Every structure is written in structure tokens, then in C-alpha cells.
């Protein structure tokens, strides 16, 4: 009997209320929202790290708030009450895999939360403390009555390569998630940093959808950018919106893990700011493309029409953020609101949070990000 069949035969007497956060605040459709607070000692550490992408030092702050086990542990079960299937293939490339997290008790037809990571697309971080991430997101999903899906994708030079991976993954999940108690009719996707590009391109190009359509009820775009040029070629994002310099410069310095100047970004790093054409305009990337092609690549026209609900989040300590919502998030919000209040995205400004802290905080006592997102998802029918 395989794991899927075992899950089907488990007792369904355990009744879980999907969203248990009765005390959680519903996110309003404006930037100025009251939020849960980052724990003071964590906020102090994040402020010391500053406006950079620093997976190493940020993981050292949040790892003590996690369970003792992580992906490198040999105990079984790894997380009590949670069944995990690793590296389920959804595409031809060896890196095209997902991890599936399901509570071993509970009803069927649970909502599904898909996490699309940043950086090169790895579904786990690097380093000793980093081994706890991004299992924290899959675990958090199960604790809140959902099935968690952690996506990994492969690199590709084609502008649409990442979005095609997202499409293949969504179609695989639609076809298979019921085996793991998930509902293919109630799926959400959550992208961080460079993961915003593949998800944003996918959502904005219906020709990439599978035969069952977009497959998503809602998406969370957090601390990233993608092409939202208007039809006339103008960019609603201010010209100076992309942070200057290397966002990982100085990573590790605050906790003594690396010399000043930092090193390469880890799994969640990179992509904090991207130009309207996506990666490629910088030195060493593909050559510049024509203005006509850039306009054709824009996700904005279809986002203006989509029925998928959108949540935009940015962190106070994100690179390029200066006291308010990221310029990209504000610009996308304002453009979509032109279609009417029902089309306006929800927004969250993570006061005291950082680029990596906003994802490393998930499934810890720091609910400044997870609480509002959970409440928003609860409202979506």
C-alpha cells in the first residue's frame, strides 16, 4: 500500500478548522495596516543586518524558534503528525521537483499552498541553520489545515522558462494533489524574491495555462518584481525603483559568518529588484530586446483582467525600500485598482522585517507576515 492510499485510510475523525487565527487581523486593501509585531530581539538583529539579502545571519536569528529537527535529521517522522513526500517529479529536468507536506490526520479536500522560492529556485536553503528552510512553510501549511507544496525549478535562459516550470508544476499538482488530501480547486501560490518573476509571468500569460486554466485562487507576490509595462510602453514603476549595487554585499558580516563584502546569494537571495524585461539587461545576461517585445512580455494586461486574487508584500528592510511599500508593489497596486475596488490587491508592509526574515519567520512566534496572509486567504471564496 503506497503512502497516498495509507493517507486515504487514516481516520478522518480529527476535525481541523482551516484558518484558526480568529485573532488575526484581516488585511485591508491599503498599505497602512496594523500588524503583529516582530519580536524585539529579532527586530534588533534584523536592523543590524540592514537593507540587504542575508540568508546566513537571518537564519541564525530564526533557527532557534524552529523545531529541533530539519531536513538533515535522520529521525522518523521528521515532524510529528506531518507526512512528507520528497522530490516528486513534475517535469523532464531533474530539478523539476516538489516536496509535499500533509498532516497525517484531517479531512480531505484541503486547500493547497504552493511556495515558489527565490534565488536559483531551490526548495531549501544552504548552511547549517538554513537546513530548516523552507520546510517551515510546508509545515506551517499543514498546521493551518492545508497541504503544502514546495516547488523547485531549473534555470533557463528563455524569458518564459521559469513560468513554463510553474505551469508544468501547477498542472501536475492539479492532477495529483487529491492523493494527498489536497483540493485542486482551492490552490494558492506564494512567491518570494526572484520567484516573483516565474509566477508573475505565468499569471500574466494565459497561453501558459494548462487545459484546466490558471489553477489558482490567489497569489502572494513578496519582495520581487516582474514586467508590468503599460500598453504604450511606459513603466508605472519609478525609474529608480531597482536597488543599486549587489543586494547580498555584506551578507554574513553581522553575525561574523563572512568577511565584509559578502558572497553569493543563497536560495532565497537575488531578484529583489528586476527591470521590466526581467533578468538579462545587466552585463553578462542576454542582449537587450526590442521595446515591442518588452511590451509583449508584460503581465499587466492580463493581471488587469484576472479573477485570481493578489496579495502584495514587502519588508521594511528590503533592498531599495525606504519607509513604505516597495515602489513595484505600490505601482502594481495602483494600476490594478484602476479596474475597480474588487480588483485592488491586498497589501502588507512588513514593519521591522527583512528580505529573508519575512520567509524565515513563517511557523515561528513571529506572525507579522504569516498572520495577515493567513487571514487574507481565509476571505477568498
Identify which has the larger pLDDT, 354 or 120: 354
What's residue 280's pLDDT? 37
User: Nearest CA to 182 among 7, 380, 367, 375?
Assistant: 7
Residue 364 has pLDDT above 70, yes or no: yes
Q: At what angle do helices 196-203 and 161-176 cross, to 10 degrees?
A: 80
Is the torsion defined by CA of 247, 248, 252, 253 positive or negative?
Answer: negative
Identify which has the larger pLDDT, 3 or 92: 92
Domains parsed from the chain with CATH numbers? 3-8+26-379 (3.40.50.1820)
Mean pLDDT of 208-232: 97
Answer whether 152's CB lies under 8 Å from 77's CB: no
The bridge status of strand 110-116 relative to strand 97-103 is unpaired
Percent of all residues in the chain with a pLDDT value above 90, rounded to a whole number: 72
Alpha-carbon gap, residue 251 to 170, rounded angstroms: 34
Residue 21 has pLDDT above 80, yes or no: no
Distance between alpha carbon 343 and the CA centroid of its chain, in Å?
21
What's residue 241's pLDDT? 58
Alpha-carbon gap, residue 53 to 157, rounded angstroms: 24
3-state secondary structure of 328: helix
Q: Which residues of 113-128 are buried (b: 16+ CB within 10 A; e: fewer)?
A: bbbbbbbbbbbbbbbe
Confidence bin at 239 (pLDDT 50/70/90): confident
Model confidence pLDDT, tens digit, residues 141-159: 999 999 999 999 998 889 9
Confidence bin at 107 (pLDDT 50/70/90): confident
Amino acid at each position: 500500500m503506497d503512502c497516498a492510499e495509507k493517507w486515504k485510510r487514516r481516520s478522518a475523525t480529527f476535525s481541523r478548522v482551516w484558518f484558526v487565527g480568529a485573532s488575526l487581523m484581516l488585511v485591508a486593501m491599503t498599505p497602512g495596516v496594523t500588524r503583529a509585531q516582530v519580536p524585539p530581539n529579532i527586530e534588533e538583529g534584523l536592523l543590524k543586518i540592514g537593507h540587504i539579502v542575508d540568508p546566513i545571519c537571518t537564519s541564525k536569528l530564526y533557527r532557534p524558534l524552529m523545531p529541533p529537527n530539519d531536513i538533515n535529521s535522520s529521525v522518523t517522522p521528521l515532524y510529528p503528525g506531518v507526512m512528507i513526500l520528497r522530490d516528486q517529479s513534475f517535469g523532464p529536468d531533474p530539478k523539476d521537483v516538489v516536496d509535499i507536506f500533509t498532516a497525517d490526520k484531517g479531512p480531505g479536500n484541503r486547500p493547497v499552498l504552493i511556495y515558489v522560492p527565490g534565488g536559483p529556485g531551490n526548495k531549501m536553503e544552504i548552511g547549517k541553520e538554513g537546513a530548516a528552510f523552507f520546510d517551515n512553510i510546508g509545515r506551517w501549511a499543514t498546521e493551518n489545515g492545508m497541504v503544502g507544496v514546495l516547488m523547485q525549478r531549473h534555470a533557463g535562459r528563455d524569458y518564459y522558462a521559469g513560468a513554463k516550470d510553474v505551469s508544468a508544476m501547477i498542472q501536475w499538482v492539479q492532477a495529483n494533489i487529491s492523493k494527498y488530501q489536497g483540493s485542486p480547486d482551492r490552490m494558492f501560490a506564494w512567491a518570494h524574491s526572484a520567484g516573483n518573476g516565474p509566477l508573475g509571468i505565468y499569471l500574466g500569460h494565459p497561453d501558459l495555462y494548462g487545459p484546466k486554466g490558471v489553477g489558482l485562487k490567489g497569489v502572494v507576490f513578496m519582495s520581487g518584481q516582474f514586467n508590468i509595462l503599460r500598453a504604450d510602453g511606459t513603466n508605472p514603476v519609478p525609474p529608480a525603483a531597482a536597488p543599486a549595487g549587489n543586494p547580498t554585499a555584506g551578507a554574513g558580516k553581522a553575525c561574523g559568518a563572512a568577511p565584509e563584502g559578502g558572497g553569493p546569494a543563497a536560495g532565497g537571495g537575488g531578484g529583489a529588484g528586476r527591470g521590466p524585461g526581467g533578468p538579462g539587461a545587466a552585463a553578462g545576461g542576454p542582449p537587450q530586446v526590442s521595446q515591442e517585445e518588452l511590451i509583449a512580455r508584460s503581465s499587466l494586461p492580463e493581471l488587469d483582467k484576472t479573477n485570481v486574487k493578489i496579495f502584495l508584500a514587502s519588508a521594511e528592510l528590503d533592498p531599495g525600500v525606504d519607509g513604505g511599500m516597495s515602489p513595484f508593489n505600490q505601482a502594481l497596486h495602483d494600476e490594478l485598482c484602476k479596474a475597480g475596488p474588487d480588483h485592488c490587491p491586498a497589501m502588507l508592509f512588513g514593519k521591522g522585517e527583512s528580505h529573508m526574515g519575512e520567509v524565515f519567520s513563517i511557523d515561528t512566534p513571529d506572525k507579522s507576515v504569516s498572520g495577515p496572509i493567513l487571514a487574507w486567504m481565509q476571505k477568498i471564496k
